Each structure stands twice: as C-alpha cells, then as structure tokens.
Amino acid sequence: MGNNGGMESGDPAALPVPAAERPHRPGLTAVFWAVLFLGTAVANVLVKWMRALRDGEAFPAGATSIEEFSSAFASLGLVALLHAAARRWPLHADTWRRRIGLYVLGGIAWWLLHVSAMVLLRKLAFAVIGQHYTYGDWPAQWFYEFFKDVQTYSLLVVAVHAVAWFGRQRQGEAHLLAPPDDGPPVEPVERPQHFLVRKLGKEFLVATGDVEYAQAAGNYVNLRVRGHDYPLRITMAVLEQRLDPAVFLRPHRSWLIHRGQLRSIEPLDGGEALLHMADGAKVPCSRRQLPLLRQALAGS
C-alpha cells in the first residue's frame, strides 16, 4: 500500500493511532440527558420541600427523593432506546407519514416501560430502607402517568429529531452532483469526483478522494471527511457502485472505507476483524469480507 501501507494484520498496534472518535459523540449526549433528567429530579425535590416548608407540613425527604429519582433513572434508560430508534427510523419530509404510526406505538411502549421500571426501582429502594411501597390503584394511577408520559415522550421525540436536524445542518448534507442543464457534465455523474455539500446555507465541494469511510444510517450514508460527517441520501449499494473500487473497499454491509485511511487489521475470534482507521475509528469487517479485503490489499 505504499506510504499508506505498513500494515501488520496480526499487530494492530504496529502504527499508533489516536483514540477512537465517535461521530455522534454518545458520551456528550449521555451527559446531557443525565444532567437534564437528574437535574429535573433535584428541582422537583426542592420544590416539594419548599412547598412543605411554606405550608408547615412534614417533608418525607427519603420517600420523595426515591420517587423523583426512580422516574429520572427509568427515563434515562428509555431515552437511549429513543435515540437508537431515531437513528434507525429518522423522520424526514418524505418518511414521516409512514413512520409516524411507529412513533405512536413507541409512546405507548414508553409509558408501559417507564411506569414498570419506575415502580420496580421504587419497590427495591423502599425495601432497602425497610419500608413497603404501593404504587396506587389500577387503572387510575397508571392512566394518570399515561398522560404525563405521552407528553414527555412527544417532547423528547421532537427534541431528538430537532437536534439531529440541527446537527445535519451544522455538519452539512452531501449530494451527488447533478448533470448541468446545458452542455456536457464537467465530470462523469455516474462516478463523481466530488460531492456537493450544503452547510448552514452555503454550498461547497468535497472531493470523493477525501472521504475516509462511510457508514450506513437508515436512509442515509454518513460520509466521514476530516472529522465531520456529511449525510448523503443514498443506499450503500448504490454508493459502492458510484465510488472507485480501486480506492474504496466494502469490509461490511454497512461500511465502506478508503484504503489509504486503513492503518491496521485486528483479527477477532470467529473470523471477523476490526479495521483501525487513521482517525482512530474502528470499522467492523465481516468474516465473509475479510479474505476479499486482504486479497484486494495484497493486489495493491
């Protein structure tokens, strides 16, 4: 592989690479939701304490804290599932009509799972302090939570997709260059040398050769270019046909990589492998594709 080679298939540390960078920064997202839900729980406890203080009533600090934080922790677990669903089934102008029913069912599932997890956490916590917890009468108490949970779920769905939309606008969305209205195309449209990227109202070109790797994400394929992800509305199979097979390799059904960005191959048990990229990312390689990948690399 020339200067980009130096690759030891049995020694992934042959060339040191920086720490892996996750395109969606799940760590920051988890911190945000933890601060939001746990901060809300703290605020609710303080409000109830101040209300009891104002009315001259006793304040059961332990029971109140358990009730608020159990709801917060149950929501934290579910919001991770919501993020996964939003990435798998994103709502766009051309998809929301056929997917909105899925999110409606998701609201019912959120309610049932949230209440079940919340009650279980409360029973466990109260048992630890030597008390017994009773949630309330069915169905009144459950449907009381239903309206609150559906409202919370709806706001979270809007928030998650709004953040995803803003992220796409900030990072930019890529498009294949269309043939011009008049005259011959500047470059072959079927195998473009550039992608047209729209970012915060501006347009610029990204060279195909600058794409380090690509990952399928629902209706999109995320193109990784110099630390940024540019969603391209295309299937992975079509993108593979558009890119030069001498430059881009398909190690996995959901991934394409630029061979010049590959630094090492780490074999795994079962015949699969992890591909260590120049930016520190780890790309999976399937057992079926690994021999083909090595054959392609050997041919270079």
DSSP assignment letter at 266: E
Selected residue with higher pLDDT from 28 and 184:
28
Compute the distance between CA of residue 268 and CA of residue 250 in angstroms, rounded to an integer. 18
**Cα–Cα distance, 116 to 146 (Å, whole number):** 12
pLDDT tens readout for residues 190-199: 678 888 888 8
Least confident of 80-94, 129-143, 276-290: 80-94
**Range in 2-11, 47-56, 120-129, 210-219 the model is least confident about:** 2-11
Is the pLDDT at 21 greater than 60, yes or no?
A: no
Candidates 3.20.20.70, 3.40.190.10, 2.40.50.1020, 2.40.170.20; correct CATH number of 2-18+173-299? 2.40.50.1020
Tell me the two tokens of residue 65: 């804290």
Phi and psi (nearest 5°) for 30?
Answer: -65, -40
Retrieve residue 114's tokens.
């949230």
Q: Tell me whether strands 213-217 and 202-207 are parallel, antiparallel or unpaired.
A: unpaired
What is the rounded end-to-end Cα distance, in angstroms, of the chain?
Answer: 6
Q: Which amino acid is at 31?
A: V
Work out the pLDDT band at 25, boundaries 50, 70, 90.
low
Measured CA to CA, the distance from residue 229 to residue 71 in angstroms comes to 34
Residue 14 confidence (pLDDT): 32
pLDDT value of position 178: 61
**How is the chain split among helix, strand and coil, in percent rounded to 5?**
50, 20, 30
CA distances from 107 to 12, 43, 111, 135, 145 (A): 44, 25, 6, 21, 12
Instruction: Give the confidence band of 179 by pLDDT, cuts at 50, 70, 90.
Output: low
* H/E element, 67: helix 61-88
Q: Select the more confidently predicted residue: 8 or 198.
A: 198
Peptide bond into 60 cis (omega under 30): no
The predicted structure's pLDDT at residue 228: 87
Look at residue 19 and tell me whether its pLDDT is greater than 70. no
Pairing of β 228-233 and β 273-277: unpaired
158/166: higher pLDDT: 158
User: What distance in Å separates the CA atoms of residue 214 and residue 257, rounded to the nearest whole number?
Assistant: 6
As a whole number, mean pLDDT of residues 71-89 equals 90
Mean pLDDT of 122-135: 92
Burial class for 249, CB neighbours closer than 10 Å (0-12, 13-18, 19+): buried
- Residues facing residue 293 across a β-bridge: none
What does the pLDDT look like over 259-273, one tens digit per residue? 999 999 999 988 999
Q: Is the pLDDT of residue 28 over 90?
A: no
Instruction: Give whole-number Cα distances, 203 to 169, 200, 224, in Å.
Output: 12, 8, 17
One-letter identity of residue 217: A
Lowest mean pLDDT among 1-10, 35-44, 103-112, 234-243: 1-10
pLDDT over 90 (residue 24): no
* Per-domain boundaries in the chain: 2-18+173-299, 60-171
DSSP letters along 146-209, please? HHHHHHHHHHHHHHHHHHHHHHHHHH-EEEEPPPPSSS--SS-SSS-SEEEEEETTEEEEEEGG
Alpha-carbon torsion (240, 173, 229, 31), positive or negative: negative
One-letter amino acid of 80: A
Interval 135-163 mean pLDDT: 89
Contacts of 71 (CB under 8 A, 6+ apart): 41, 114, 118
Question: Across all residues in the chain, what is the average pLDDT?
Answer: 84
